């Protein structure tokens, strides 16, 4: 019997894109200015780092986020380059840094300057010398063509405005054999953006195919999120 969330899409399949938001059933806490009805993908104010750090680095997050499982799905090897798009407070970085080792590189990308400054301090304090925090523009990750082995995008894809166009930037940045993982909230999750803004796995896969990628659902045990893997066909 097929996995309930499983399907595969290849480049060329189209579906309308919509949605945007943030994690938690507490919209006010996670969506500054959220009204609950009219939100859309695009810029949300993540400048209050202290406030978001309390959510993104909450002590109970590991229980449902399962970072070791997520990073395991990336199948990283020593020496590889991995970009974490929308890295936030740097929750995943210690795991990614360990997976690529001293000879590898982690690029922690975020649109919010305050998050980037926070991450720089955090990585320096933790001695994570193979992690670089970089500010990026909302519509371009700024990655050199063919420069990264993996791209991880957790709870961030729904914030990107023109996702099909963005997928093309990501596809160009992948090295041969590279792939992208998008992790986002399921419709049923108690965490996540308002329901009307959530993206289905099918929608995310379809958007990624616009980058010329093949996308498929990944088998995992995350209780509140789905995972889509995309690579060049």
Of 93, 155, 207, 220, which one interacts with ligand SAM (CB under 6 A)? 155
From 121-129, 150-158, 198-206, 214-222, span contacting ligand SAM (CB under 6 A): 150-158
CA dihedral 63, 67, 72, 74 (to 10 degrees): 140
142 binds ligand SAM (CB under 6 A): no
Residue with the closest Cβ to ligand SAM?
A: 88
From 6-14, 68-76, 103-111, 188-196, span contacting ligand SAM (CB under 6 A): 103-111
**Helix (H) or strand (E) segment spanning residue 173:** helix 163-173
- Residue 39 CB-half CA count within 13 A: 27
179 binds ligand SAM (CB under 6 A): no
* Main-chain dihedrals φ then ψ at residue 229, nearest 5 degrees: -110, 135
SS3 66: coil
Residues 55-94 that bind ligand SAM (CB under 6 A): 56, 85-88, 91
138 binds ligand SAM (CB under 6 A): yes
Under a CB-based contact definition with an 8 Å cutoff, are residues 16 and 41 in contact?
no
From 11-19, 75-83, 151-159, 215-223, span contacting ligand SAM (CB under 6 A): 151-159
- Taken as a whole, the chain contains a residue count of 233
R_g (Cα) of the chain, nearest Å: 16
Q: Which residues on adjacent β-strands are paired with residue 105?
A: 81
Whose Cβ is closer to ligand SAM: residue 81's or residue 191's?
191
Number of residues in contact with ligand SAM under rule CB under 6 A = 21
SS3 71: helix
Of 39, 112, 149, 220, which one interacts with ligand SAM (CB under 6 A)? 112
Residues near ligand SAM (CB under 6 A) = 22-23, 46, 56, 85-88, 91, 109-112, 115, 136, 138, 154-156, 159-160
């Amino acid at each position: 019997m097929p996995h309930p969330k499983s399907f595969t899409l290849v480049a060329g399949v189209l579906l309308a894109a919509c949605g945007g938001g943030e994690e938690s059933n507490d919209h006010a806490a996670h969506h500054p200015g959220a009204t609950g009805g009219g939100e859309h993908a695009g810029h949300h104010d993540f400048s209050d780092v202290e406030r978001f750090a309390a959510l993104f680095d909450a002590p109970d997050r590991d229980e449902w986020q399962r970072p070791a499982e997520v990073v395991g799905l990336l199948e990283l090897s020593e020496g590889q380059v991995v970009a974490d798009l929308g890295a936030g407070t740097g929750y995943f970085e210690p795991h990614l840094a360990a997976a690529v080792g001293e000879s590898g590189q982690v690029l922690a990308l975020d649109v919010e300057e305050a998050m980037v400054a926070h991450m720089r301090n955090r990585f320096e304090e933790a001695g994570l010398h193979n992690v670089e925090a970089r500010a990026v523009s909302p519509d371009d990750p700024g990655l050199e063509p063919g420069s990264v082995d993996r791209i991880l995008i957790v709870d961030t894809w729904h914030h990107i405005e023109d996702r099909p166009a963005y997928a093309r930037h990501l596809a160009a940045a992948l090295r041969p054999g590279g792939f992208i993982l998008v992790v986002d909230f399921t419709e049923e999750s108690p965490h996540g953006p308002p329901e009307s803004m959530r993206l289905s796995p099918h929608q995310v896969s379809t958007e990624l195919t616009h980058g010329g990628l093949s996308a498929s659902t990944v088998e995992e045990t995350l209780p509140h999120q789905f995972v889509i893997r995309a690579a060049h066909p």
